[in-house]
């Protein structure tokens, strides 16, 4: 506490006061100097500690980088797969440039060089075979996921390999591998069919749809826009599901598509909007194809017609949605539509590196359907006739799982622009599918008429 220097009666004690004040100031100065010295010392000590810490971290990073990255991945709120970069590196190293270029090189004059994603899939296999047969260069890409039995995809791969089409096993989200492929081959076109399919499965695994149908599409467009020289024209698979709750029939490309009934449909609609962005900014030529219930040989086991054939043969009951009608489109007709879209697509207009575009580029969307909706009950009747066996039917109400009651395509736009004209009726198409199914699974399906004929021959 500082002493008081005032008094009721002011005696002359100035000398004593000055002496006391001088003593106090000296004491105060010593305290201030001590605090300053302590503060400076603390600051220096703190900075030294930071410097030593940074030095130790640097040394640790240089000597133990794998441990540090592992530690960071564990502490991150969104940890990455520690094996992803290694896996990508291994795949890059395993690529055979000569084999890839040979597969992607056209054998006809002015032939296309096409990267087909999802090449081991149903539509991808048929398109790859058709393109290769007419002399185009085709390189496939597929991750062989287990959404349905991968053995069917590997069987398709063997068929493609036998016909000169190589499939690179990789994920569409692996951008480094995509960049490498575009460096090895100057693709003129991309047929992007890789996607997570199925309406109902989205309720069980929603993230797989975002990863494949949204992130995967962006991954491809990023590489095509910024790393391809020249930029390819891209044709990609949208879906009739984008029409969602639309009740105006037949479905036209001019109808609203902002009421999706499933997450699958929403991801496909998102793809159409994403395509608009990359066309607008980077000048990518983009054509979306809205497929309507594609069926045929080498089809997907999760599709109704496929499972109906299986269950009827096995004698298992099948569930049929009441009043459901579908615009069933045979695979050969869809292939012709895909090829027409590829052939009519104009080049992209973006410059290498994605810096700017030289002008507007194609941004198109088309329906690929059969234009003749058929009740699912009629489809079952056709299958029963082909198998010579009655189905055990359970007619049930359509659940609220994303399915829509009917689809019906207006294909006049595709017919006008590239001559698309479906020609396969459901009876003919299902006959081809059942024949393939019996051959592929090595089954012996004999109709009742044939059984009676054989019995008659045996008895005589």
Please identify every residue annotated as catalytic.
264
φ/ψ (deg, to 5) at 287? -130, 120
Q: Give the 3-state secondary structure of residue 31.
A: helix
What is the phi/psi pair of residue 286, to 5°?
-130, 130
d(CA 146, CA 302): 12
Q: Which of 203, 201, 202, 247 is nearest to 404 (CA)?
A: 247
Please give the structure tokens belonging to residue 395: 């007619």
DSSP per position, 217-228: HHHHHHHHHHT-
**Sequence-separated (6 or more) residues with CB below 8 Å from residue 230:** 186, 188, 347, 348, 352
Q: In what order do the strands lie in the sheet with 137-142?
A: 166-169, 137-142, 113-117, 189-192, 233-239, 286-291, 363-368
Distance CA 395, CA 232 (A): 48
**CA 175 from chain center: how many Å?**
13
Which of 95, 90, 136, 89 has the alpha carbon at shortest distance from 112?
A: 136
Nearest to 414 by CA among 347, 364, 363, 372: 364
3-state DSSP of 238-270: EEHHHHCCCCCCCECCCCCCCCCCCHHHHHHHH
């Amino acid at each position: 506490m500082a002493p008081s220097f005032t008094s009721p009666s002011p005696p002359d004690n100035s000398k004593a006061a000055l002496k006391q004040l001088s003593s106090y100031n000296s004491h105060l100065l010593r305290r201030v100097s001590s605090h300053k010295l302590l503060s400076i010392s603390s600051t220096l000590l703190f900075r030294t500690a930071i410097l030593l810490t940074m030095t130790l971290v640097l040394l640790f990073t240089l000597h133990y980088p794998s441990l540090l990255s592992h530690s960071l991945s564990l502490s991150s709120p969104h940890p990455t797969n520690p094996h992803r970069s290694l896996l990508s590196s291994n795949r890059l190293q395993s690529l055979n440039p000569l084999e890839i270029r040979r597969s992607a090189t056209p054998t006809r004059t002015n032939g296309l060089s096409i990267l087909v994603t999802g090449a081991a899939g149903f539509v991808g296999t048929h398109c790859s075979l058709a393109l290769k047969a007419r002399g185009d260069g085709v390189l496939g890409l597929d991750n062989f996921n287990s959404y349905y039995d991968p053995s069917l995809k590997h069987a398709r791969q063997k068929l493609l390999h036998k016909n000169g089409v190589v499939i690179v096993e990789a994920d569409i989200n692996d951008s480094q591998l995509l960049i490498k492929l575009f460096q090895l081959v100057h693709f003129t076109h991309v047929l992007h069919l890789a996607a997570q399919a199925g309406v109902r499965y989205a309720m069980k695994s929603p993230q797989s749809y975002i990863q494949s149908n949204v992130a995967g599409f962006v991954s491809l467009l990023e590489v095509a826009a910024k790393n391809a020289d020249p930029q390819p024209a891209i044709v990609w698979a949208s879906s009739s599901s984008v029409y969602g709750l639309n009740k105006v029939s037949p479905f036209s490309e001019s109808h609203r598509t902002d009421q999706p009934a499933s997450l699958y449909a929403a991801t496909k609609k998102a793809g159409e909007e994403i395509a608009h962005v990359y066309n607008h900014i980077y000048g990518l030529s983009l054509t979306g194809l809205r497929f309507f219930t594609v069926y045929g040989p080498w089809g997907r086991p999760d599709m109704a017609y496929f499972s109906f054939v299986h269950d009827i043969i096995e004698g298992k009951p099948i569930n049929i949605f009441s009043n459901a009608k579908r615009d069933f489109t045979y695979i050969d007709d869809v292939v012709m539509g895909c090829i027409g879209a590829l052939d009519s697509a104009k080049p992209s207009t973006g410059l290498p590196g994605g810096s700017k575009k030289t002008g507007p580029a194609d941004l198109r969307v088309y329906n690929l359907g059969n234009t003749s909706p058929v009740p699912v009950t009629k489809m079952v009747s056709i299958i029963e006739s082909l198998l010579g066996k009655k189905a055990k039917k359970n007619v049930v109400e359509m659940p609220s799982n994303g399915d829509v009651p009917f689809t019906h395509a207006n294909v006049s736009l595709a017919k006008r622009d590239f001559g698309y004209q479906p020609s396969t009726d459901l009876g003919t198409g299902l006959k081809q599918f059942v024949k393939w199914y019996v051959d592929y699974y090595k089954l012996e399906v004999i109709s009742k008429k044939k059984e009676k004929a054989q019995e008659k021959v045996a008895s005589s």
